[in-house]
Structure 1
């Protein structure tokens, strides 16, 4: 299912649409109306939108890389005048009194915000599903998950409603839906964009904001635009990356996760095919050993549970009627699991912070590491639903999400790009490149090279 048609948006990506608007070929208001019509055409099936802006208007100012480009903000980020619901039925959201810091950074690019996209409760799940509401569906196959937690944004971009949308990533929440929906999704280095309002007070800040897009150049243009608004002086500048360089890279690759989860056959084949493409393009590719503490998975689950526990304690700051008993099964299970293990917290935090040592050791002599994004191909709706009993659900999640959390703990950048499709039903399979802190230019470089060698297949091509 998709919304592509012969209108003001056409098949433009965000860079192309912004150029058409600057040239006067398309008006910003016309683009916003076309996107609103596209929402109406597909929303009854996709269920990707949480709330719409009554009268969308371009961001203040006359410039910006994406001036006039319609988009959505994820519904865990405050946008002035719109409620922030965090995907939860545990409280009644109230209208935000101001933009969140990242919302201001995103708006500085000139985008026109049409509304807010849906996410699973508090972004905890790798699928955008609920116990008492319609799930967000994947445009490639509406019986499949769109991923999570930025599933609403990914579904809207893949379906052609908007060319780019806000996403954020605390354990894979940009890269997972990008992989499921055939998009580009880059989790920036910790501190690359303005700090996330929800996580900057936590003992380990695992959340980074960014976007999902249909082209590498859109993600590159977003990073360059974000940097013109604010740049972290502790990180090397990214600048505007416009295509692949002639630099030849040393790339390590993993087929199975460092915590022992074996990837399924289609996913392994996608990684090996990508490795062969890199070698053909002149890069050196070799296996790499990433030796994590064997307690990493359990430690991350404890930290994940701590986040749910803290939300249960502080939930009334979100809404006066907050009731933690109305949180979904995944959130409740995480909290209850943490209450049984809370005494481990100091050791957990110490070991998670030390993970950067093992990560750095794996990169000796390497520029990037290639791996799957997910250990399994895109699951059907219901497989990872929060209605599944907690113990069974957690087994399924751990068998599915086995690669992405590492970058969140260490704070390093990582990008998902479409690499292949399943033979049986043609669903996208993403592969992931991870780098050292501040290495976004190198990640974009290799993503541009793969896109140029074999343009990413789009849902409207099926």
Structure 2
């Protein structure tokens, strides 16, 4: 199936976010023109992709017509439908309740407002973000613009699809088990999961016993992600973390890079392993010391992470009526959410162990990064599945086994809190993007971004529609 994109001869052109901001400041285009072009592009491709949850075009036009302040003033973006935006519902990808319009902005929305962006809509996600793909019994799947027969990635897949097609230059995503990195990996984008605490998160995320979720963006260029992180740091900064600063130049020194092709008890497919080793060889050609190593993942990690993940589902199921009122209908939850909740209830006595175990992964990570500067892994163990492979109407046991086989390399950084970035460094034999993941120690986004700029300059990776 042929890829689809939204690029055309309009105000957005083929520019990334930084390029558009330069044109905005030079007066070559207006925010109103960019917003109209983005709306037209969204409407051109969304019927095929299923990426948009709720539109906010009228308010976006009003914002674009008025004065905007901030480093990204006037830039059209999309936010994910699990963060609060005043006046819009936060539906979290589920049919189990009907969300009223939010009475106020959440912390993520406030950050984007402070940057000056113009939000056009909210993007779809899997139910509460639990699945590695966006699929819904009634609304259908979130599809991959490179091939509509395949999934577009994890719960930020709606965001990634819209950025990959050129509908918007940048979109918000969040990552609790890979949901920024996974859709970036399968749609040919850059996706950085920041260090825990690096960016603000909404209240529900901050209250987790182990804060596995981090908020960020998916972009088409490394410089866009670097610009977002730098400008966000001026708005919100955790003083315990080293500054990222303004990253504009590629890395100019060799690193010690560990290469991992097996994780959480599951090896990458032969094709993905070969692609990973090919990426490692190119890193070595750039002067880095590259060494294949065992994964820094304890044997018990998969069990602990699944139990913690399932505890979050159990909490949402059991508190649904209190949180959402008498309209809460658990019979409308999908099989993955219900199955995770059952798994947690059956293993309640082990929940304290799971929480403690995930917290201990930080020590293992520190030991690993005393030896290496960066770790290279495939972002995903296999090519992105065909639509239907993770259908939420399938039985829980089938879905969870298939999900864990695919998503084997991303959850570790959610437990440790370390940063990791997926880059479009490989393509499968079927012509689909296969992202490679660079992982760093606590607070090392600057190093990852510098290395990413070096790879982007040396690689000349392919973008959809270019």
| Common fold: TM-score over 0.5 | yes
Give me the whole-angstrom Cα distance separating, in 2, the residues matched to 1:410 and 1:181. Answer: 26
User: Residues of 2 paired with 1:354 and 1:347: CA distance?
Assistant: 10
SS in 2 for 1:421: coil
Q: Give the corresponding residue for 1:441.
A: 446
The yes-or-no answer on 1:303 pairing with 2:334 is: no
Deviations 1:253-294 (A, max 9, x none): 10111x220111221122111111111111111122334332
How many angstroms does 1:7 deviate by?
A: 0.2
* 3-state SS, counterpart of residue 432 of structure 1: strand
- 1:172 is aligned to 2:171: no
The reply on whether 1:134 has 2:137 as its aligned counterpart is: no
Q: Deviations over 1:402-459 (max 9, x none)?
A: 0111000110000000011112x21001000111110000110111111101222111
Q: Is the 8 A contact 2:160 2:189 kept in 1?
A: yes
Shift of residue 107, structure 1, vs aligned partner: 1.9
Deviates more, 1:137-146 or 1:100-109: 100-109
Contact 2:82 2:90 in 1 (8 A): yes
Q: Any conservation in 2 of the 1:290–1:359 contact (CA below 8 Å)?
A: no
Contact 2:339-2:396 at 8 Å conserved across structures:
yes
Out of 23, 26, 32, the residue aligned to residue 26 of structure 2 is 23
**Residue 101, structure 1, aligned to residue 107, structure 2:** yes
User: Which residue of structure 1 aligns with residue 98 of structure 2?
Assistant: 92
- The match for 2:43 is 40
Gaps spanning 5+ residues in structure 2: where?
A: none
Map of 2:193 onto structure 1? 187
Given the two structures, how large is their TM-score scaled by the length of structure 2? 0.96
Q: Which moved more, 1:319-328 or 1:155-164?
A: 319-328
Change (3 A) 1:11 1:369: same
Which residue is equivalent to 1:67? Answer: 73
Deviation, structure 1 residue 61 = 6.0
Distance of 2:209 and 2:79 partners within structure 1: 26
SS at match of 2:199: coil
Task: Give distance in 1, aligned partners of 2:29 and 2:19.
Answer: 11
How far did residue 318 of structure 1 move? Answer: 4.7
1:122 matched to 2:128? The reply is yes
Q: Name whichever of 114-123 and 309-318 sits farther off.
A: 309-318
Q: 1:289·1:362 contact (CA, 8 Å) conserved in 2?
A: no
Verify: 1:200 aligned to 2:200, yes or no. no
Pick the aligned partner of 1:428 from 410, 427, 433.
Answer: 433
Map Cα deviations across residues 152-181 of structure 1 (whole Å, 9 max, x no partner). Answer: 000000011001000000000000000011
**Per-residue CA shift, 1:319-361, capped at 9, x if unaligned?**
3211222111100000011111111111111111111122222
Instruction: Check conservation: 2:80, 2:156, Cα contact below 8 A.
Output: yes
Determine the C-alpha separation between the residues in 2 that align with 1:59 and 1:338: 50
**How far apart in 2 are the matches of 1:59 and 1:397?**
44
2:11 is the counterpart of 1:8:
yes
Q: Indicate if the aligned counterparts of 1:59 and 1:107 stay in contact, CA closer than 8 A.
A: no
Moved more, 284-293 or 433-442: 284-293
Structure-2 separation of matches of 1:442 and 1:317: 44
Q: C-alpha offsets along residues 39-86 of structure 1, whole Å, 9 cap, x if unaligned?
A: 111111111001111320249864423221111000000011111100
- Could you list the per-position Cα deviations for residues 363-410 of structure 1 after superposition, in whole angstroms to 9, with x for gaps in the alignment? 222110000111011111111121121111111011101011100011
Give the match's secondary structure for 2:155: coil
The match for 1:290 is 295
What is the SS of the residue equivalent to 1:371?
strand
Query: Given the alignment, which residue of 237, 249, 255 partners 1:231?
Result: 237
2:365 to 351, 359, 363: 359
Change (3 A) 1:409 1:60: farther
User: In the alignment, is residue 267 of structure 1 matched against residue 267 of structure 2?
Assistant: no
Change (3 A) 1:59 1:170: farther
Q: After TM superposition, where is structure 1 displaced by more than 3 Å over at least 4 residues in a row?
A: 58-63
Larger CA deviation: 98-107 vs 166-175? 98-107
Give the Cα separation in 2 of the matches to 1:361 and 1:325: 46
C-alpha contact 1:91 1:318 (8 A) present in aligned 2: no
Residue in 2 aligned with 1:451? 456
Task: Find the aligned partners of 1:237 and 1:44 in 2 and give their Cα distance.
Answer: 41
Equivalent residue in structure 1 for 2:411, among 405, 416, 427: 405
Secondary structure of 1:116's counterpart equals: strand
